[in-house]
Structure 1
Amino acid sequence: MSPVTKTYSGRFALFFWLSFALVLLLNLLVWLYLNQVEQKFKEQLQDRLRDANQLLGRLMLEYNEDVNIHLLVPGDNGTLEYLFYKQIFEEIRNRGTLQTIILISPQGEILVSVPPILSEQTILSFTGSPNFIQALKGEAVVSDIEEYGGERFITGYMPITDLDGYLLAILIVEAKAKYFNVLGTLKNNILIFSLLNFILISLIAFMLFRMVRRTIRYEREIRDQQHLVQLGTMAASVAHELRNPLNIIEATNDTIRKKYEQNNDEIFEYIPQEVIRLNALIDDFLRFAGTPQLYVEEIILQRLFDRVLMGFEEADMDRIKVRLEKSTIQLTTDGNILQQIITNIITNSLQASDKSQPVLISVSAKQRNKIQIIIEDKGTGIPKDKLDKIFEPFYTTKERGTGLGLAISQRLIQYLQGTIKVESVPNAGTTVTLELPNLKQ
């Protein structure tokens, strides 16, 4: 990776984490601020309800001198005392923001309720509260924010006593905490907004990450292409310089062989073989370093494999078993390049297998515009730790191998816009899968 790419990647990572931290910090600060506002509202509402409850309690004490609370009978809604206190409660309720005003006897029986409470469960929610128990002990109490049926309420409990301190009743005042509903909605909206922010940042980060990866890949491809151009120029020059002495060596060998033809020395056979091997190595090097010119045409794969088999010795031809899904399978591609790829792979399979073992080839139409070629052998296989290196140039496990066969095949198949995949199990064999699309002519 170049310094420019490293800098770009570092800036991207820094931008992502700073953005993530900033959004997290802002949401945390807003959340803390809302909690403080909620606490302030709660304290103010409790103070206001406590004041209202105490004021109402003092009024009840004054009214008790004229209309005695002792005369209220639970369940009797027709008495003068009941109607008197009911009217007062209704006026106070209508003027303020109170939801419910209830006067309950120390025994937990409702004396007056505005509005009327019919549910026994609702009555128990008041009389069964710890706050009600505290009020029975003579202490004025205001509850925390409580939620019923999706609404939030705050309730005050005020003991009503006579001048002698005797407990007459418990005054319960309930008010809606509307502001807390707004705060709750705001909190939910902030939570949703935060999640959307995180999702948006993640999407942006994902897109930027893909852009960085694509940039790195393009940079590497451009760099490799530049190296290959330089390598190709150098290879052509080196090949020319090597072929000349090789031709001289071969010609000299022929001259010496004719001069001493009565001596049937094996060295006269060895030298031409080595010259042929070195020329093949030069050809491989030139093919790897060069950029092929594509000649795209429609080819019949059956005929292509017939030409491939003709390039092998008869003993090897008998070992190669080709099975086509249909004899008429066609592919629009460069036939010469595809033939070279298949020949390289079959050669490797033959060399890796025992001479009694076949090399199996199957050809099928994988998709509408794509064919699949599978070349399978039962040879020695490739160890797992070496499988990732087989496409590296000049990497070989053979004593006399060049290490360019598979590297060339991979480069050529990329020119054909195809893919090559190798699967291998040591001592069980290797399977090479080629997938090739139809190219535009």
Structure 2
Amino acid sequence: MSIHKFKLMFIPPIVLFIIIASSVLDLESSLPLMLLSSVLLTGSMWLEKRFPHILLLQFGLLGIFHYASQLNWCLLLYYIQITGVIQYNWRFKHMLPCAALITIQYTAIRLTYSPLTTYSLLVSVFDIISSLVIISTFHNIIRIETEKKTLAKQNNYLMNHDPLTGFLNYEGYMKRVQQLTLSRTAFRIVLLDINNFQSLNAKDMTSANDILVRFSVHIRRHFAEMLAAARYAGDRFAILIPAYSEVNGLDSFEDLGVQITYSVTTYPEEAGTFQEVISKAEDRIFQMRRETWLKSQEEFIRSAKMKTVGELAAGMAHEIRNPLTAIRGFVQLSKVQNYNIQPWYNVIMGEITRVGELTAEFLQFSKPHMSNMKLDSLSGCMSRVFSLCESEAASRGHAFTMEQVEGEVTVYMDRDKIIQVLINLIRNAFQAMENTGHVHLSLLTGDEPWALISVRDNGTGIPSEVLDRIFDPFFTTKEEGTGLGLSLCQKIVEDHGGYITVESTPGAGTTFTVKLPVSSRGGDGGHVSSEASNEY
């Protein structure tokens, strides 16, 4: 309760009681003067809030009323008036002199109708002491209440505002939107989302905070008529603007070094309730951000493709230049021999063959789609590979074995392409073994709908420093290799929805594993084996 209401509640009945008591006891010095001053004093209470300076007049009217009534009970009215002084200026050092003057006024008036005795003098001293005690008590009470209100106000501000930008936080944003919808005020919600905030935050937290502060300043400048603004979820801003305000010129935010996505939702045109307008605004910014993300991903993929094309073109140009340079040199030498190329014929033809192989493999690598995709038996495909490679194994002196599950393992595939992959991996295994060795081809299936084809050898293995690069186009450790074989194998397997992995231990051997999605399979999961060996 405010001091003003307190005074209006208690002073009129106290004044009325003193008038009656003074009349009954026949103590009043002037009944008309007492009545007039009481009316003026009570009436001034109603004008006090509008005219604060009337408080000085009240002290004069109270003195007149006190003198006319000649009752010490007026002391209670003085105390109530002193609380009014404390309300308007609660600094102790400022209001103490004023309160002391009021107390002196009361004492002086009391002594005009009381006999000047030792008792009266002592009562006057006691009144002054009582006044000081009451003044100090009221001062402390009002100071504590004022501090509590200030702390409550600060706490409320912190609970509903973002300390970095000074905007509302999510709680404050929700309350403000709810207030506007309850009052049926037409407005727009503009959601701004900083797309690259995570990258800015990762670079430098101070820099990110500085950008947020500058972003909020720009919002205040750009949306001069905004009803409220909020920051939440780190990088999202909500601006509430009147429904008639246009939303344009948002490209200027990019001058701050940020990329933004925004959406606009109008109430009540597009949503009729608090929940609807919030939900529609969030859904709309989500869709806008998703579209922006998809566009950035498309741009990233396009950029990656162009980079890959550039690397392939550079690698292809380099690989073709070498044999062409050799051919050119031998043709120039043949000019001295009357264009007799007999001494270099085999070398020239070998280089021409190499160019042809490079071109053929590059064309295979660049084909975007499988040509003959259909459901086919992976077991039959492996049997075909085994029959094609067993003679080469025998000629090299290697043992070549195969193991696969019983029954059919059906895969949606281009049979010729998968055969090409397996033959390439098996021949690489043969070439990796300098001495007589063993290559094992196996087909396994598990609980998951995948078929695992592994090609394992016990050759020299692949050094760890080059293991991560073996699938890169044009990377090879062979003198005669093109460096496209394993890249082509990886591409074919990925086109089939699978992937290829490699494990290698130098000096112990290498295992390539091809994982393909299975369409259907039969059999009881038993194993059958085949073997072709010729140890020289």
Tell whether the structures are fold-level matches, with TM greater than 0.5.
no
TM-score by structure 2 length? 0.36
Which structure carries more relative contact order (alpha carbon 8 Å, separation 6+)? 1
